[in-house]
C-alpha cells in the first residue's frame, strides 16, 4: 500500500472518486484515535490482582531475593534473618515466610531421613531428592522475587507453617 495523496485522474478520465473521511479533515488520520489500541487494559498485567503488592522498591526485591539465595549458603538461617529483621513490607514478609517454610521443611526431612536411614538404608535417597526439588524451586521463587512478583511453591516443598 502506497502512502500519500490518492492518484489524480488520467487524461480523458472524469474525477469520479470521492474524498475519504481522512482527506476531508486534513491530518485527522494522523491523530490518536479516541479509545482503542493505546488505552491500558482493565484486566491483565497492570491490573491489581490478588497477591499483587503494587510497586516494589529495589531494596525490597533484594531482601526478598536474599530469603531464597541465602539458603544456598546458610540454610534456614538466611530466611529467618530476613523474616525477623527486614520483613517490614508485605512483599518481603511473604517471600521470607515462604523461604523459611522451605528451609524448615528441608531441615525436618533431613533429620527424619537420617534417622530412618538407620532402620532402612535405601532411604538415604529421600532427603537428596527432596533437596534437589527444593533447589529447583528456590531458583524459581528467587527469579520471581527479583522481578517483583510472587510465585507460590507447592505445599509439599514449603509447608505452610509460617505466614
Domains of the chain: total: 1
pLDDT in tens, 31-59: 554 544 444 444 444 434 445 567 889 99
In a domain, 35, yes or no: no
Q: pTM for this one?
A: 0.64
In a domain, 153, yes or no: no
In a domain, 5, yes or no: no
In a domain, 73, yes or no: yes
pLDDT in tens, 84-135: 998 788 999 999 999 999 999 999 999 999 899 888 888 888 889 999 999 9
Q: Which residues of 122-135 are buried (b: 16+ CB within 10 A; e: fewer)?
A: eeeeebeebeebbe
Range of the domain at 106: 58-146
In a domain, 28, yes or no: no
How far apart are the C-alpha atoms of 96 and 141, rounded to whole Å?
A: 11
- Residue 30 reports pLDDT greater than 70: no
In a domain, 45, yes or no: no
Amino acid at each position: 500500500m502506497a502512502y500519500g495523496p490518492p492518484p489524480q485522474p488520467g487524461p480523458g478520465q472524469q474525477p469520479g472518486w470521492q474524498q475519504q473521511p481522512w482527506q476531508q479533515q486534513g491530518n485527522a488520520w494522523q491523530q490518536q484515535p479516541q479509545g482503542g489500541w493505546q488505552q491500558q487494559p482493565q484486566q491483565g498485567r497492570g491490573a491489581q490482582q490478588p497477591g499483587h503488592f503494587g510497586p516494589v522498591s529495589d531494596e525490597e526485591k533484594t531482601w526478598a531475593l536474599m530469603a531464597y539465595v541465602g539458603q544456598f549458603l546458610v540454610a534456614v538461617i538466611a530466611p529467618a534473618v530476613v523474616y525477623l529483621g527486614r520483613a517490614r513490607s508485605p512483599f518481603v514478609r511473604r517471600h521470607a515466610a515462604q523461604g523459611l517454610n522451605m528451609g524448615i521443611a528441608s531441615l525436618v526431612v533431613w533429620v527424619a531421613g537420617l534417622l530412618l536411614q538407620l532402620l532402612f538404608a535405601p532411604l538415604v535417597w529421600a532427603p537428596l531428592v527432596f533437596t534437589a526439588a527444593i533447589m529447583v524451586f528456590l531458583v524459581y521463587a528467587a527469579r520471581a522475587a527479583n522481578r517483583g512478583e510472587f510465585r507460590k511453591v507447592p505445599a509439599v516443598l514449603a509447608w505452610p507453617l509460617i505466614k
